[in-house]
Amino acid sequence: MIQLIKGFKDILPGEVETWQRIERVARNLFGDFGFKEIRIPIMEKTELFARSIGEDTDIVEKEMYTFPDRKGDLITLRPEATASICRSYVQHKLYAQEPVRKFYTIGPMFRRERPQKGRYRQFYQINVEIFGVASARVDAELIYLLNILCQRLGVEDVAAHINSLGCPKCRPGFKTSLLNYIDSVADQLCSDCLRRKDRNPLRVLDCKVPTCREAMTDAPSIIDCLCDTCDTEFQILQSTLDRLGVNYMLDKRLVRGLDYYTRATFEIQTGSLGAQSAVAGGGRYDGLVKLLGGPDTPATGFAIGFDRLAEIVQMQGDDLQRKPDAYIAAMGEQSQALAFDWVCDLGSQGFYIEMDHQGRSLKSQMKRANRLDAPYVVMLGQNELDSGAAVLRDMATKEQTEIPLERLVQAIVKRSQKK
Ligand code: AMP
């Protein structure tokens, strides 16, 4: 038997209804806030991700699915969506049409991480991005959106963590004091941290190795080093969240693994997922559009881990599966042929009808109709064909009615419309 690739998964009926519901709720919400959908390719030139995510990140260093195509050009299965959305924004000069653009996209991402619960090699994200607004008010809008989305989905055990990463003006000062601290605890850090500390000391803050976390407990906080503008923006973020009634906590360790982030950074964490506690993460990336050859454009966004959100959305997938409008229990070849015509006729009119193709007994067909929770069962055998009328049973009231065969489709339509 050929099995699926390690770290990849199927989303089966029963589970997929949860995904559909999340997607429906998300799309409605984003529409209410003026976001437009954008669809971007699954593959891009490798250099797009290398340049925008940063060479010394886990993603670029060891997690990307990169391979030469048949002509030898290096291409990569996208590990995230922001770089592609920015590429598209620059390539199609989307900034020329409107000063502020709001986009969302939903789809699979690929990272060759160590698979475990909540961490896959193909996973899905819901990405939301706002281009052209420098104010931290829109960072608050994003966190607010995440909050409302969780509320609408009935997800309660979530908390917003926020931090600021400063800007190219104030971050260098912070990096220096951070590096001094890192050097003082260097003997307790992992080899990845030691290798990266000089080029990107911020990464040491979000290393997941427990001994590194322990060693970094008393590290300086960037909040104490922010320049006036970054400080004002961070205050705006907090006061806006206060006004919108969003609970949040300051988290000095929150630095994000990607190089292009500036100022506001945030994560939505949950206690329901064990080790993989981040349901969504995002922040401001004012430098990225310019880095990719576009005009200097402030931008901010987030990515929700769809797989993780689906896991914590409290609901029975079964309840959302579409139930048939009726079940036709047909016995004998001729009855089955007639039943099949009705199923197709009613299906084309928007009614979902189930029937049996295995020639099972009436008893076992009735059992199946019950399991599928069909509100009506049509019984059709040789006797009914001879008499020219089928028996229609209302499964709730147990009432049975004889319906002439030529009026049966009409009878089901009438009853299903009333429901
Ligand atoms: P990132 O793009 O790394 O900022 O991740 C944003 C969100 O995507 C995270 O908060 C997770 O919920 C989700 N995520 C990231 N990597 C994975 C993965 N390998 N498997 C499942 N979800 C993931």
Atom of ligand 1 nearest to the CA of 282: 4
As to burial, measured by CB atoms within 10 angstroms (0-12 exposed, 13-18 middle, 19+ buried), residue 33 is middle
- CA of 189 from ligand 1 middle (Å) equals 24
- CA of 308 from ligand 1 middle (Å) equals 8
Spell out which residues line ligand 1, taking CB within 6 angstroms. Answer: 80, 111, 113, 118-120, 123, 125, 278-281, 303, 305, 307-308
- CA of 146 from ligand 1 middle (Å) equals 15
Atom of ligand 1 nearest to the CA of 121: 19
Residue of 9, 123, 127, 313 to test ligand 1 pocket, by largest number of atoms within 8 Å of CB: 123
User: Which protein residue's CA is at the shortest distance from atom 12 of ligand 1?
Assistant: 305
Amino acid making up residue 59? I
Edge-to-edge strand ranges of the sheet holding 326-330: 353-355, 326-330, 376-380, 389-394, 400-404
Atom of ligand 1 nearest to the CA of 82: 2
User: Which protein residue's CA is at the shortest distance from atom 18 of ligand 1?
Assistant: 119
Kindly give the residue spans of alpha helices, DSSP state H, lying in 245-381: 288-291, 306-312, 317-320, 333-348, 362-371
pLDDT in tens, the chain (419 residues): 999 999 999 999 989 999 999 999 999 999 999 999 999 999 999 999 999 988 777 888 899 999 999 999 999 999 999 999 999 999 999 999 889 999 999 999 999 999 998 999 999 999 999 999 999 999 999 999 999 999 999 998 899 999 999 998 998 899 999 999 999 999 999 998 998 888 888 889 888 889 999 999 999 999 999 999 999 999 999 999 999 999 999 998 898 756 678 999 999 998 878 777 899 999 999 999 999 999 999 999 999 999 999 999 865 444 677 899 999 999 999 999 999 999 999 999 999 999 999 999 999 999 999 999 999 999 999 999 999 999 999 999 999 999 999 999 999 999 998 76
Angle at CA of residue 410, ends 406 and 411, nearest 5°:
100
- CA of 286 from ligand 1 middle (Å) equals 21
- Residue 260 contacts residue 53 (beta carbons within 8 Å): yes
The residues pairing with 305 across neighbouring beta strands, listed in sequence order, are: 125
User: Which protein residue's CA is at the shortest distance from atom 11 of ligand 1?
Assistant: 305
The per-residue pLDDT for 419 is 65
- CA of 305 from ligand 1 middle (Å) equals 5
- Residue 107 contacts residue 42 (beta carbons within 8 Å): yes
Domains of the chain: 16-170+226-314 (3.30.930.10), 326-418 (3.40.50.800)
- CA of 344 from ligand 1 middle (Å) equals 43
- CA of 81 from ligand 1 middle (Å) equals 11
Q: How far apart are CA 325 and CA 414, in angstroms?
A: 11
Instruction: Specify the DSSP element, H or E, that contains 212.
Output: helix 210-215
